[in-house]
Amino acid sequence: MSKSHSTNRTVTWLLNIVKLIGLFALYQLAMIPTMMPAIRHGFSATATLIAGVASLVLLGSLIWWLVTIYRRQAPIVTSLSRVTSLSRPTRPVLTIVGLFILVELGNVLAGLIVKKTPENQVILDKVFTTNPVINVVMMAVLAPIVEELIFRGLMYRWLFPRVTNWVSFTVALVFASLVFALAHTLSFSPALLAYLPIAVVLTFTYVWFNDIRYSIALHIINNSLAMVGMLTLLSR
The pLDDT of 36-63, averaged and rounded, is: 81
Beta bridge partners of 163: 78
In this predicted structure, what is the pLDDT of residue 119? Answer: 46
Q: What is the longest distance spanned by two Cα atoms in the chain?
A: 64
CA 136 to chain CA mean position, Å: 16
The structure's pTM equals 0.81
Question: For residues 70 and 188, which has the higher predicted lDDT (pLDDT)?
Answer: 70
pLDDT for the residue numbered 19: 95
Of residues 182 and 135, the one with the higher pLDDT is 182
C-alpha neighbours within 13 Å on the C-beta side of residue 204: 20
Percent of the chain's residues with pLDDT above 70: 70
Check residues 143 and 38 and name the one with the higher pLDDT.
143
